[in-house]
Structure 1
């Protein structure tokens, strides 16, 4: 592979010298934008090809394309999923700019009509990417009335979701921290609402979602396993419109429209639960305090077109979750009130400037901000006659980023497309801090401990050349150089990227790739129960940056007259310097118990480097996807056969052990069918092998001193022997979700009813396992029993939606 990379890189560097004569043959550039004819929305990933010639490209994230073509008469053919194909006839004498406006197809019931020519996977930049449109996400069955982008991604090959209901993504055996999740180009550090039941992405505001699992373009870096890029709609510049929905747990509203004669457009979308309002009403009726929960999120996007060559975008997201549980006891001589609060949230913003320097050169400059924070508070008040005892324990963690980046696309000749750019990010880490405040009539702080704020700087530069070596062979060669400065250390990483794609005359496409990735951030998991108390920490001299090397080999083709896209891929990935906490008790339990002592505060005050261990991992497997994206029936079938291993000298006696989410078999079947123009049904069935967990294999009697009572007589007790790490498999996970949607046109717009059922056959999937001691046998042997705790039974839901 190393020799192959060097050979292709040499060809890529020397090829411009061999094609100078060709480029001097009256070659001109045609470039411009592809957009929706009704809303003016730019369309990323649209296929643009020159009919009768082996020249094709796709639009970038901002709908821009550029191609170097021979002068003279040409036919520019543009295609995009869900839109009619448009052919533009041009006679080119020089560089030409144009705007292609595609019209949405009038009916979802229209059968598929295949246009002859190259399918989308013949573009090497699209071959390693899966795109989900907003429409595809909306057609999935809904949980509590909400269609969700992350739940849709979990149904793709090579991806699984971890715990029941969670928004985690485990891609090709990687951890949830190893995914670069971008919202309009800005990293999002926690994508969960309601402990993972919903994600932070409002589907109504989404344009599309791109997922890259291998063959990473050189512009991406900073994570090992995947890139998930969520693009929001820009806001219609053709007319004012709105849409919304009312579900069982939440409601949402989106408004968009033009300002200033169509040069400016805006989009604002909001979503909020009313669980807290229902709980407050129930508390008032019952006279008892109840747990309260709420979340909200807000998306705002504004863009202004200064000229055909310049456009400015402002994108803002803010979201927050809050859970509170109150316990009150009122006796004759005392009153006790205890309140537990858990709060977490994200804020992101991006200011982008797009500029078309010429039909050959497109630039995008961006300023970014991203912040994530969680806080846990346990507050106890004890009133006895004239004295008041007040104890407050607070645990918090946060990360904040400010950044700037630039990206350029340059097309010097018909056979070359060069992408280059860079990024600088200033991180501020506050990994964890605890404060214990005790008041006995007068305030007095007992303990304040935890890590100091850790500043760090991260940067990268990249360059990539997409080379058309022949009419059927493409290569993408690139380099990504990154650096990280923290605590006086300067880490570097040079990451070569190589991808090859061959397209046969019979429609079969073969592809292979090699990529190296580096990650300077670690996510340390504090708990196994799904609460958002994991902490982000920087790599240091003691906890080195993570690294990965990945190889892929795949094939794809159109089948069934072009209606189906069939693909398969083999992969192998090796990871170094993975980090996790040492074997410690569950964080949430320890935090609650710490009210009686300061042991937890002392634990937190230790540097996080002393609380983690490093190791390595390797994963390999095969992925298969059969997909139908147009017609009365759409959907996909995905299957993954995979292995995921971890190894650390400090764990499992130094021997390898299966990763927690090592699932041998993962499968998903997704289908949506239009019965009539107004009525659509859909369903999804998912299956995966059981996750690996660590359970005790032996219990034996032992004597121990009572905790906190030195000098006391030892008491009989029981000690658990765990044996190997992840030595037990949970039962397999599977469930069926179904939904039915009815649309009806109204004078004022359109209304929609949706009925969905989550877990239709009421499968009791494992959330976690625990052991208990129900008794002792007559022989004196202690009887142990294993229990499964399940989370979601069958859950019907209903929602009402509207558009105007």
Structure 2
């Protein structure tokens, strides 16, 4: 007889026989007093380039607008950095923001931010675990160059229904979860911003203004996460996940003699069906089907007026003159970009003894790209009537992507470990085909109990290209396929790391050196205000470009009974080279930050109170500035002279974030709390 016990649960007795080697347990809970344990695990997890953490670590970061952000937490890691100030863009070891693979329960998301890069799309209340890879990529991941962010949505509570409501400065959230029968559970989480409520009624005022220039800017987003989990038998698990997100921006400007009405909308929907099966103790199988659709729509209307003052009669001199606006011209511009994918994955893993593991699998996907569907219409009434209409619609581009892989993981001895395998990636667009063998290797040596030396080699390929056009409020992104003219992007990276160095009780240090080479990069030149910026993109691209990045990373984690500290420092270089740009010479990347460091402190000074602080400092971004201006003459206009591309750097960037929170437990397993945070405290 086998007796199973666990704190908080009633004991359970199971008959033990020679054939019974695998048990599925569902213990009955025992009522206990509420005890809240809020802890984190050191960032280094043994594998080079990999960090695994829970949402407790994300919530320990002081948040912008009180909203805990997963991607902003990733930006604090040594291998990653953010883009513009306050954005949720992620740049990993010299890569761009379009080279990261975001998987939400197996759903690949090309757009990972809300409010156009202000917040990430991942609701922290619905997430259970995050795996981040900057190198040492497992064979089952592919399709992007720089990093993998694998996010698992947690299952609903299996024993009782419960909910949570969170009211913030910028957003509000609600979550409900509970069992569905005896073998299933459901979780639904919704989130929405309400910045637009502060501008209710102002739109009519801005449109009706006749004397002064006025403007209105509305931003908003909403998203929904849902997950249904069904376990029909021990060792079997079926899960269905859904994500839907919607972003909107309304920019209205009344210049009295002209009116600009600009709308931007982004909508993403995705779902996945995953089946996990453990037929025997040493076997594991997993299959996933997914689909995702992302649409970006832009609408802009421009009106020009002839402003005339109508004076009142002399007998009514005390009245204000009336303003009459006669429409001179009107123009509308509409643009839409879309990218959709439908695919599946399968993974098989078996253990050969206690030290050896074999894995194999594959994936396939069908992609659809609509990089540009634009219409422009203009009507002029004065001084004479004129009308024009321009439409540009690029045909649907379809592509197939597939991959097969096989590999081995094991321990050659008590001190040596190895992980090796081959991933074979394929791509087809019309009559163009690409095939890339991608070897991956990891070696580990543990000289003693104080640390582990690891070496990793990764070869990755990315077939879809992200064309980015930054603007004042919105960064437009259009995804296009690899073609016979635009070749795939490739990266090779070598990493050498010394991790899990124990300097004392609760003190751990990790250090990594890396070198990455990128090929097949693309850049799309555009003019400010250009509407059809993706028109004829294949012939306008600067490609193929090259990139290289190298540097050193350090991570220190200190844990004490009363407080916890984490410190990171990165010294790195990132450069680019494109034909016809900077005289074909290498130049610094836009986000080439030489130095980057941060320190985070978590101090629970009371069982119900917690104080957190975060300080960051980094070199400024690279920018392009003119060194001189040549005045115009009767034959030519004025123009600027530039030095090397991205030759200038912005000033040193630093900030201090502070947060304090309180949690109060109530009877019947209820609780409430509050949290206040300050972003950039000494601005």
- 1:559 is aligned to 2:559: no
Q: Is residue 261 of structure 2 the alignment partner of residue 339 of structure 1?
A: yes
1:393 positional shift: 0.5
Could you tell me which residue of structure 2 aligns to residue 62 of structure 1? Answer: none
Q: Deviations over 1:181-237 (max 9, x none)?
A: 111111111111122221101111111111111111111111111111111111111
Conserved 8 A contact 1:179-1:223: yes
| Partner SS state of residue 290, structure 1 | strand
Aligned in 2, Cα 1:340/1:715: closer, same or farther, shift over 3 Å? farther
The DSSP-based 3-state class of the residue aligned with 1:471 is coil
Q: Give the C-alpha shift of residue 627 in structure 1.
A: 2.2
Q: CA 1:434/1:730 → structure 2, altered by over 3 Å: closer, same or farther? A: same
Partner of 2:87: 166
Report whether the alignment pairs 1:409 with 2:349: yes
The alignment status of 1:367 with 2:307, answered yes or no, reads no
- Return the match for 2:338 from 386, 392, 398: 398
Residues 407, 419 of structure 2: 8 Å contact kept:
yes
> Deviation of residue 504 (structure 1)?
2.7
- Listed one character per residue, the Cα deviations across residues 715-761 of structure 1 (whole Å, up to 9, x for unaligned) are 77421012211110111111110000011112361111111100011
Report the CA distance between 1:285 and its aligned residue: 8.2
Quick check: 1:378 aligned with 2:321? no
Structure 2 residue matching 1:235: 3-state secondary structure: coil
Partner of 2:249: 323
Tell me what 1:543 maps to.
Answer: 486
Whether 1:313 aligns to 2:253 is no
Q: Which digits, 9 at most, give the CA deviation of each residue in 1:663-699, with x for residues without a partner?
A: 1111111111101001100011111111111111121
State TM-score, norm by structure 2: 0.88
Q: 1:629 to 1:394 in 2, by over 3 A?
A: farther
Match for residue 563 of structure 2?
A: 633
CA contact under 8 A between 2:546 and 2:578: conserved in structure 1?
A: yes
**2:626 equivalent to 1:686:** no
Equivalent in 416, 434, 437 of residue 374 of structure 2: 434
- Tell me the distance in 1 between the aligned counterparts of 2:453 and 2:667: 51
The equivalent residue for 2:105 is: 184
1:235-384 superposed matches below 5 A: 235-261=156-182, 263-282=183-202, 290-327=216-253, 338-380=260-302
CA RMSD of aligned residues (A): 3.2
Cα distance in 2 for partners of 1:130, 1:661 equals 23
Alignment CA distance shift 1:685-1:110 (3 Å): closer
Other structure's SS at 1:98 match: coil
Deviations 1:554-599 (A, max 9, x none): 11225354423311111111111111123x323xx233xxxxxxxx
1:366 shift after superposition = 0.7
Cα offset for 1:472?
1.8
- What does 1:518-667 correspond to in 2, within 5 Å? 518-527=461-470, 529=472, 531-559=474-502, 561-582=504-525, 584-586=526-528, 589-591=529-531, 601=532, 604-628=534-558, 631-667=561-597
1:421 has 2:361 as partner: yes
SS in 1 for 2:607: coil
Counterpart CA distance in 2 for 1:35 and 1:462 is 41
Secondary structure of the corresponding residue to residue 655 of structure 2: strand
CA-to-aligned-CA distance 1:455-507 (integer Å, 9 cap, x gap): 00000011111021112211001111000101310101000110011223333
Q: Is the 8 A contact 2:34 2:665 kept in 1?
A: no
Relative to structure 1, the CA distance from residue 292 to residue 128 in structure 2 (aligned partners, 3 Å threshold; closer, same or farther) is: closer
Deviation at 1:403, TM superposition (A): 0.4
Any conservation in 2 of the 1:137–1:147 contact (CA below 8 Å)? yes
Q: Once the 2 structures are TM-superposed, how far is the Cα of residue 174 of structure 1 from its aligned partner?
A: 0.7
Give the superposition deviation at 1:613. 2.8
How many residue pairs end up in the alignment? 647
Contact 1:36/1:101, CA 8 A, preserved across alignment:
no
Contiguous gaps of at least 5 residues in structure 1: 1-33, 40-85, 592-600, 704-713, 763-804
Cα distance in 2 between the residues matched to 1:539 and 1:215: 25
TM-score (norm 1): 0.75
